[in-house]
Chains A and B, each alone.
Chain A
């Protein structure tokens, strides 16, 4: 009997480890031989822990599985109250285009054989037979843009590093996924770590870099453990070695270290303070040397691009947003999780059709797209197609593809205040608009909450200053959630003095 129980943080947080013990105990009691494989998550968070049994017809899903449901797995499977049928046939799975996440949830994350048997290392093998310039061209042609949020063309960044002079160059993976509502990096690293390793190795070949670092946030203990094991296994198998080797480095709880220059300072062992650009990290990055800094999903999308060709990837998408995006649907949502699809679905389709609306059953009030620095979208903008330019056109951003859904009980003034409070807590302190502006922003929003409407022009002006004057996206983008809340939900900001007092 072969059983898959996810090791993904979500499954673990909902009791997967206890299930493993219960499964082993039950199997022992019945004298049944079981092989338990800890896989990644399929991304259907409302069904986690989602346990899969290997049958003649395929992998049968059971979830969300509680301890009481364990004995039933050894009986009539069709009659099991949590039986979901074949996992591959579930609508959530069938609707997706899984390119980057093709193996996540499917394979044993730490089996290099599984990885190879499911298309892994084909991209690296192809890259090895190509010149640096050919690899860079392939990635450029694919249209892949930085999935961390900035959307900078990955191939162009690689070209700069590839052509830069330097004895030592680096590939740095930004795995400091601090945005609320984002967990794609975590799921990829926990569910298919070799994919990231392969992507980094290809980047190394393309840029002439022999050393890589993954800067992984400390809030992700499972991912840290899986990545460290995977690097060791890849090194033992010769996938990593003299040509390209890498290390996992753990962050220390600073949100701003997701900003690339701050990350580089942190990696060097300094305070995670933002650096002014220029010089670009591509020319003077880690240790002052040419460095590629790419997000996990950008790098993990490279193996499939190299294996299947740029055209295959580029065929998906909309406008200048090519390929697929792993949407992370979170917050107050009925069907939350990770859904990889081509760019171009409308926000309304994502929230209402895929996500199924709110978990509370109340109407959706707003959706924050792109993490704590992203704008809040009201239902009147639900026709916006998911793409970099399309969201920018509506004064928003797609960021890392995370969506926080909030129902009508949400106070948008409180959310705007939280955005400023968060910025004040996490500001690195280097530039004044962010360091002081965020504190003043909290105070100004408190004035509004007390019914002082004269604070609105001050807030607008302050947001403008932060947006235009900050060194990085923390201070520069905090105005997005604040101004979008003010613009789309003015009623929440119009407090009468009596009511407030």
Chain B
């Protein structure tokens, strides 16, 4: 668990660094997620107060966007493109094999906390699909052997 003082200090620092921006909420949420791996519930009242927003408004923004997590992900995050261009080169079949190998469905994390599987709609690698992203690293012409990269 995060120490609540550490949390509020770090969030305060992030909010301060983004003061003066027009429309600072998304950059703040990205920075908080970069720092903690997710947007801790405890950060919301502080962000809301600093931006003169209600907690509901901040929560509404977090829940609107696919990128923001309300809980930590697995140690690895494997994103597979599900969009049409990747489907045209067999992305569905590859995703099926990967799900079977990991024993999880979209948006789930393996019980050992090793890997979270997420769909993504287009990484812009549409002429070398199926496309994937492993812990932020781009992979073209991906197949099921990619699970080896998230084995540990």
* Interface residue ranges, A against B (CB under 8 Å): 9-10, 12-14, 45-46, 48, 177-183, 186, 218-222, 247, 249-255, 266-273, 286-287, 328-333, 336-337, 359, 368, 372, 402, 404-407, 410, 415, 418, 422, 426, 428
User: Could you say which residues of chain B place their CB within 8 Å of the CB of A45?
Assistant: 127-128
Question: Distance in Å from the Cβ of B42 to the closest Cβ of chain A?
Answer: 20
Evaluate contact between B26 and A250: CB separation under 8 angstroms.
Answer: yes
Q: Which of B30, B88, B126, B139 contacts A182 (CB 8 A)?
A: B126
Evaluate contact between B121 and A426: CB separation under 8 angstroms.
Answer: yes
Question: Distance in Å from the Cβ of A351 to the closest Cβ of chain B?
Answer: 12
Stretch at the interface among B9-17, B78-86, B96-104, B108-116: B78-86
Evaluate contact between B66 and A331: CB separation under 8 angstroms.
Answer: no
Evaluate contact between A404 and B27: CB separation under 8 angstroms.
Answer: no
User: Could you say which residues of chain B place their CB within 8 Å of the CB of A9?
Assistant: 123-125, 138
Give me 14 other A-B pairs in contact (C-beta within 8 A), A10-B128, A271-B61 excluded. A10-B125, A14-B140, A181-B126, A219-B120, A219-B123, A251-B67, A252-B66, A253-B120, A267-B26, A269-B23, A287-B22, A372-B121, A422-B83, A422-B121
Give Cα A253–Cα B26 distance, bound, in whole angstroms.
12
Q: Which of B24, B60, B85 contacts A330 (CB 8 A)?
A: B85
Give Cα A219–Cα B80 distance, bound, in whole angstroms.
12
Among B21, B27, B64, B123, the most chain A Cβ lie within 10 Å of the Cβ of: B64
Evaluate contact between B23 and A10: CB separation under 8 angstroms.
Answer: no
Q: Which of A186, A252, A332, A337 contacts B26 (CB 8 A)?
A: A252
User: Could you say which residues of chain B place their CB within 8 Å of the CB of A252?
Assistant: 26, 29-30, 65-68
10 A-B pairs with C-beta separation under 8 A? A10-B124, A12-B138, A45-B127, A180-B121, A268-B22, A268-B23, A269-B51, A271-B64, A330-B126, A336-B127
Q: A14-B128, A179-B122, A330-B126 are in contact. Are A270 and B89 (CB under 8 A)?
A: no
Q: A221-B136, A287-B22 are in contact. Are A180 and B126 (CB under 8 A)?
A: yes
Q: A10-B125, A13-B140, A422-B121 are in contact. Are A180 and B85 (CB under 8 A)?
A: yes
Among A181, A272, A359, A402, the most chain B Cβ lie within 10 Å of the Cβ of: A181
Give Cα A328–Cα B67 distance, bound, in whole angstroms.
26
Among B29, B57, B123, B133, the most chain A Cβ lie within 10 Å of the Cβ of: B123
Question: Distance in Å from the Cβ of B84 to the closest Cβ of chain A?
Answer: 4
Give Cα A126–Cα B147 distance, bound, in whole angstroms.
54
Q: A250-B26, A269-B24 are in contact. Are A406 and B61 (CB under 8 A)?
A: no
Evaluate contact between A406 and B140: CB separation under 8 angstroms.
Answer: no
User: Could you say which residues of chain B place their CB within 8 Å of the CB of A368?
Assistant: 84
Q: Which of A13, A178, A219 contacts B128 (CB 8 A)?
A: A13
Give Cα A179–Cα B83 distance, bound, in whole angstroms.
8
Closest to B89 in A: A332
Give Cα A13–Cα B89 distance, bound, in whole angstroms.
16
Evaluate contact between A410 and B88: CB separation under 8 angstroms.
Answer: yes
* Interface residue ranges, B against A (CB under 8 Å): 21-27, 29-30, 51, 57, 60-61, 64-68, 83-89, 120-129, 131, 133, 136, 138-141
User: Could you say which residues of chain A place their CB within 8 Å of the CB of B60?
Assistant: 271
Q: A221-B136, A252-B68, A404-B88 are in contact. Are A183 and B126 (CB under 8 A)?
A: yes
Evaluate contact between B122 and A266: CB separation under 8 angstroms.
Answer: no
Question: Distance in Å from the Cβ of A243 to the closest Cβ of chain B?
Answer: 18
Question: Distance in Å from the Cβ of B12 to the closest Cβ of chain A?
Answer: 18
Evaluate contact between B126 and A336: CB separation under 8 angstroms.
Answer: yes
User: Could you say which residues of chain B place their CB within 8 Å of the CB of A418?
Assistant: 84, 87
Closest to A335 in B: B127
Give Cα A46–Cα B140 distance, bound, in whole angstroms.
11
Question: Distance in Å from the Cβ of A168 to the closest Cβ of chain B?
Answer: 10
Evaluate contact between B65 and A333: CB separation under 8 angstroms.
Answer: no
Give Cα A14–Cα B140 distance, bound, in whole angstroms.
6
Evaluate contact between A331 and B84: CB separation under 8 angstroms.
Answer: yes
Q: A181-B85, A219-B123, A407-B88 are in contact. Are A48 and B61 (CB under 8 A)?
A: no
Give Cα A253–Cα B118 distance, bound, in whole angstroms.
12
Closest to B79 in A: A219
Q: A253-B67, A268-B23, A359-B89 are in contact. Are A402 and B126 (CB under 8 A)?
A: yes
Question: Distance in Å from the Cβ of A435 to the closest Cβ of chain B?
Answer: 13
Q: A9-B138, A13-B140, A269-B51 are in contact. Are A404 and B85 (CB under 8 A)?
A: yes
Give Cα A286–Cα B25 distance, bound, in whole angstroms.
15
Closest to A367 in B: B88
Closest to A11 in B: B140
Closest to B120 in A: A219
Closest to B86 in A: A180
Give Cα A242–Cα B134 distance, bound, in whole angstroms.
40
Give Cα A186–Cα B126 distance, bound, in whole angstroms.
12
Evaluate contact between B138 and A13: CB separation under 8 angstroms.
Answer: yes
Question: Distance in Å from the Cβ of A432 to the closest Cβ of chain B?
Answer: 18
Give Cα A9–Cα B136 distance, bound, in whole angstroms.
12
Evaluate contact between B124 and A220: CB separation under 8 angstroms.
Answer: yes
Evaluate contact between A331 and B30: CB separation under 8 angstroms.
Answer: no
User: Could you say which residues of chain A place their CB within 8 Å of the CB of B140?
Assistant: 10, 13-14
Q: Which of B27, B65, B67, B139 contacts A13 (CB 8 A)?
A: B139
Evaluate contact between A406 and B88: CB separation under 8 angstroms.
Answer: yes
Q: Which of A179, A251, A266, A330 contacts B127 (CB 8 A)?
A: A330
Question: Distance in Å from the Cβ of A208 to the closest Cβ of chain B?
Answer: 18
User: Could you say which residues of chain B place their CB within 8 Å of the CB of A407?
Assistant: 88
Evaluate contact between A46 and B89: CB separation under 8 angstroms.
Answer: no
Give Cα A415–Cα B60 distance, bound, in whole angstroms.
31
Q: Which of B25, B30, B83 contacts A372 (CB 8 A)?
A: B83
Q: A252-B68, A267-B23 are in contact. Are A329 and B127 (CB under 8 A)?
A: yes
Question: Distance in Å from the Cβ of A290 to the closest Cβ of chain B?
Answer: 15
**Cβ-closest 7 pairs across A and B:** A336-B127, A269-B25, A180-B83, A330-B126, A253-B66, A252-B65, A13-B140
Closest to A376 in B: B84
Q: Which of B64, B65, B84, B131 contacts A415 (CB 8 A)?
A: B84
